[in-house]
Structure 1
Amino acid sequence: MQEQTYQYYLNQKTVAAHYLEIGNLSKALEHFINAYQTPFGTEDLDLMLDLAFLYDEVEEPSKAIQLFYEMAKIDPEFPTSYYGLATIYDDNEDYDKAIYYYQKTIELDPNYESAHFFLANIYDELGQNTEAIYHYEKTIEIDPSYYYAYINLGCIYESEDKNLKAYHYFYRAHQVDPSDYMALFNLGVACRKLGQIKEAIRYYRKSLQSNPDYSFTYLNLAILYKEEFKDYQESIAIYTEGIKYNPEVSVLYYNRACCYALLHDKEAALEDIKISTKLSPSLIDYMKTDDELSEVRQMANYQLLYGND
């Protein structure tokens, strides 16, 4: 009888793994539960781990938490049970518990790079840069190809206006994945802040080649042409291209309106203002004090729409 039960347990695990591989989560869950409910399943940490992560994936986090706690009781030295708890609390923005369990994971396994990375993410979100930097650096030390650790480190240093350091980490990310648009975009940001305008343009344009859907690249590149060269026509061309890929992004219309206004094309500016404020009504208050739009605010059609403030 015990042999039959053991064979059933193995079969259920195999079938569950098959359904998981082909993406049928409900069937995978059914068979993992069947295997877990045998005497062998309640002692199988690998099975419990698969089942707990699957519960989390199908949005039953309370069941996942219960399993992770059970795993910690069976083997208090098994770091992934604490890591699993940390990820669920992290997803629910219960950062105190998430930090505690990420730290517990790292105590048991100092080379658990994902625990370092996501712990760094929390500290980053909380504005605790020193702690975030430490754990991002540990992530890179363990895995020198961890792309987003470089990106996030660069963003911290850029936010602190330490732009050479920011450039260094963005470039390291670019070396890990030369085609990814985010590293290229951030290199553009860092280069502009360092006064390397031609390099900034080059990186922004390469970023657009990699991902033409990212609206912030159009925004930053167009603003660069506007502010550095007073080339409003080129800015308009960039905004127009960005709008083609991002027709619902209000700031592209709004900033294009400002360029039209600077060229004294008030009618075109008003048309873009109408679209941008329809998409984002919160822009109306900002628009009413924007010096670049002062001529447009004198138009009768503008005043019919927005009043004479």
Structure 2
Amino acid sequence: MPEQTYQYYLNQKTVAAHYLELGNVSKALEHFINAYQTPFGIEDLDLMLELAFLYDEVDEQKNAIQLFYDMIKLDPEFPTSYYGLATIYDDNEDYEKAIYYYKKTIELDPNYEAAHFFLANIYDELGENEKAIYHYEKTIEIEPAYYYAYINLGCIYEAEDKNLKAYHYFYRAHQVDPADYMALFNLGVACRKLGQIKESIRYYRKSLNSNPEYSFTYLNLAILYKEVFEDYQESIALYTEGIKYNPEVSVLYYNRACCYALLHENEKALEDIKFSTQLSPSLIEYMKTDDELSDIRQMPEYQAIYNE
């Protein structure tokens, strides 16, 4: 009877939602499929959307794509169907299709901030900065607290050496989330490029307090102390702290080696060079022309290892 079928459909949706809350995706998927296979399920856009995103989560993308296309046939004006397709094509780096479906989403719902953001991401990835900026700005216009839109805008302007604009957007991100290390790190970068050395140090230090495991903060701050203050001991201390958290990051050892070499602690420098080039053999060619390591290259042990 239709009433029994409808009750079964409702029960399957309820059970699926319960398993989803428990984090049991496979059981949730099983019961959503049961609900979808009823006459009521094949007309339930919300159910189809949930099922499609679950298919995508468990790497059954063909099923997810088919569901999104079925949703479009059922309701061509439902923007999330197009958004779902766009995200799958985006993940697979099929940017032409992803762009088409993100644009279709925005055509149906101009205030769909996630579509603007991820469309901007693609343009950013493709180096189409003006289009990326436009859609990041639209994202912020729709959702003023969209943290990563500010971060990504700042990164575009910093790469273009428009450092005041970069600072502005990094600071806006910092206002959205004052504790997040990435905004603090990028503020450090922008301030260094603007010649605001004390502010740069302050932001880098705050970033390390927020996330002591991010290797690039140690790298940038240590380079600052080395290049601006010629404080090689402080640089070495920062590299050493960074290595404690990131023992596989070769550039920390390499740059510490350069500081040891500048202090004429050649044995320590050579040990770091050996370790860094074991981790990243590509550093060997760079090392052979690095002026700071010229004394190290004269050491017999170096020459025995690197055939010079």
| Structure 2 CA distance for aligned equivalents of residues 261 and 190 of structure 1 | 29
Cα displacement (A) at 1:231: 0.8
| Structure 2 CA distance for aligned equivalents of residues 122 and 62 of structure 1 | 22
Instruction: Name the counterpart of 1:299.
Output: 299
| Structure 1 CA distance for aligned equivalents of residues 19 and 279 of structure 2 | 43
| Structure 2 CA distance for aligned equivalents of residues 160 and 278 of structure 1 | 34
Instruction: Name the counterpart of 1:70.
Output: 70
TM-score calculated relative to the size of structure 1: 0.99
| Structure 1 CA distance for aligned equivalents of residues 280 and 62 of structure 2 | 38
| Structure 2 CA distance for aligned equivalents of residues 102 and 82 of structure 1 | 7
Consecutive unaligned residues of structure 1, counting only runs of 5 or more, are none
Q: Please provide the CA RMSD for this pair.
A: 0.4
Q: Counterpart amino acid of 1:113?
A: E
Consecutive unaligned residues of structure 2, counting only runs of 5 or more, are none
| Structure 1 CA distance for aligned equivalents of residues 188 and 18 of structure 2 | 45
| Structure 1 CA distance for aligned equivalents of residues 111 and 180 of structure 2 | 27
Instruction: Name the counterpart of 2:193.
Output: 193
Secondary structure in 2 matching 1:202:
helix
- Is 1:116 the counterpart of 2:116? The answer is yes
How do residues 95-174 of structure 1 correspond to structure 2 at under 5 angstroms? Answer: 95-174=95-174
Instruction: Name the counterpart of 2:46.
Output: 46
Cα displacement (A) at 1:22: 1.2
Cα displacement (A) at 1:195: 0.1
Instruction: Name the counterpart of 1:177.
Output: 177
Q: Counterpart amino acid of 1:263?
A: L
Secondary structure in 1 matching 2:111:
coil
| Structure 2 CA distance for aligned equivalents of residues 29 and 289 of structure 1 | 58
Count of residue pairs the alignment pairs up: 308
| Structure 1 CA distance for aligned equivalents of residues 22 and 307 of structure 2 | 59
| Structure 1 CA distance for aligned equivalents of residues 56 and 110 of structure 2 | 25
Cα displacement (A) at 1:307: 1.3
Instruction: Name the counterpart of 2:204.
Output: 204
| Structure 2 CA distance for aligned equivalents of residues 43 and 92 of structure 1 | 28
| Structure 2 CA distance for aligned equivalents of residues 18 and 161 of structure 1 | 51
Q: Counterpart amino acid of 2:113?
A: E
Q: Counterpart amino acid of 1:299?
A: M
Deviations 1:117-144 (A, max 9, x none): 0000000000000000000000000000
| Structure 1 CA distance for aligned equivalents of residues 233 and 61 of structure 2 | 53
Cα displacement (A) at 1:21: 1.2
| Structure 2 CA distance for aligned equivalents of residues 163 and 150 of structure 1 | 14
Deviations 1:164-217 (A, max 9, x none): 000000000000000000000000000000000000000000000000000000
Instruction: Give every structure 1 segment of 4 or more consecutive aligned residues whose post-TM-superposition deviation is greater than 6 Å.
Output: none
- Is 1:13 the counterpart of 2:47? The answer is no
